[in-house]
């Protein structure tokens, strides 16, 4: 069902739509709890590294890499919640009345999710730097502020890809709990199946997002690795977003 804006009504600026989607992701109780959980787990990982890590391990690169582990699991949920709010909280009628062009709403959700994910990554990096500075000041480790540029950029790109995957699953399923379960279970089942079934192994090289992003996070991509990454991203990110956009454009809002 397509809605049409009333004649003479000025269109909603797209930047305002992005701002609204950002506010919606942070203003809800679930959104705030998700941010608190991600922050708490990242801090816990950093503290574990400080307590049990060796002097050689307490580098900035190690802090950044270890603190990104909770983000790999939880950042997709940021995208899912942004994509499913209108359908899980039944606010679609308000959203699509204020902005009848549903395609622009979908685009705003994608951009807002990426911006929010990027903000979380930056904050995590600053906290990692603070922990490293702390252990250096206390004399627990030598100051090692060196960062592998390719690996760091690959880590950021990987995290943002998982955010977009979450948006895609959310749009395709239009249900927060179902999308969260699907985003966690389906890739894991596929990874396990590829390790146990030889016939699946050859396909998994191209279609296992967890596997194809490993060289990206290591900063050691080859031409073949880029082909594997592009194919897997098309299946696990592009296809869900395309299906989800079609569903949003066609679904009846009640």
Q: Name the residue ranges covered by the structural domains of the chain.
A: 14-250
119-136 pLDDT per residue, tens: 999 999 999 999 999 998
51-68 pLDDT per residue, tens: 888 888 889 999 999 999
Q: What is the mean pLDDT of residues 205-217?
A: 90
Q: At what angle do helices 29-52 and 60-67 cross, to 10 degrees?
A: 140
Kindly tell me if the per-residue pLDDT of 89 is higher than 80: no
Q: What pLDDT, on the 0 to 100 scale, is given for residue 106?
A: 94
Rounded to two decimals, the pTM is: 0.90
Q: What pLDDT, on the 0 to 100 scale, is given for residue 1?
A: 47
* Residue that the structure tokens 């990104």 belong to: 68
Kindly tell me if the per-residue pLDDT of 8 is higher than 70: no
Q: What pLDDT, on the 0 to 100 scale, is given for residue 201?
A: 78
How many Cα atoms within 13 Å fall on the side-chain side of residue 195? Answer: 8
Q: What tokens does 212 get?
A: 């194809």
């Amino acid at each position: 069902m397509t809605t049409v804006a009333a004649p003479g009504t000025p269109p909603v600026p797209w930047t305002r739509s992005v701002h609204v989607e950002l506010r919606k992701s942070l203003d809800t109780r679930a959104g705030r709890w998700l941010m608190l959980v991600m922050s708490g787990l990242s801090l816990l990982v950093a503290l574990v590294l400080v307590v049990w890590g060796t002097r050689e391990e307490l580098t900035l690169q190690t802090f950044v890499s270890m603190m990104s582990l909770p983000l790999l699991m939880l950042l997709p949920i940021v995208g899912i919640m942004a994509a499913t709010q209108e359908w899980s909280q039944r606010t679609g009628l308000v959203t699509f009345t204020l902005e009848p062009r549903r395609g622009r709403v979908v685009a705003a959700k994608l951009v807002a999710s990426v911006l929010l994910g990027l903000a979380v990554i930056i904050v995590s990096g600053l906290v990692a730097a603070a922990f490293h500075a702390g252990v250096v000041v206390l004399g627990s480790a030598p100051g090692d502020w060196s960062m592998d540029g390719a690996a760091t950029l690959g880590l950021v790109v990987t995290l943002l890809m998982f955010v977009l995957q979450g948006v895609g699953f959310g749009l395709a399923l239009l249900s927060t709990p179902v999308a969260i379960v699907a985003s966690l279970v389906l890739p894991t089942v596929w990874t396990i199946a590829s390790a146990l079934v030889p016939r699946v192994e050859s396909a998994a090289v191209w279609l296992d997002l967890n596997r194809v992003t490993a060289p990206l996070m290591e900063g050691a991509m080859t031409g073949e690795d880029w082909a594997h990454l592009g194919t897997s991203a098309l299946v696990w990110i592009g296809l869900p977003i395309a299906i989800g956009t079609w569903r949003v454009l066609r679904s009846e809002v009640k």
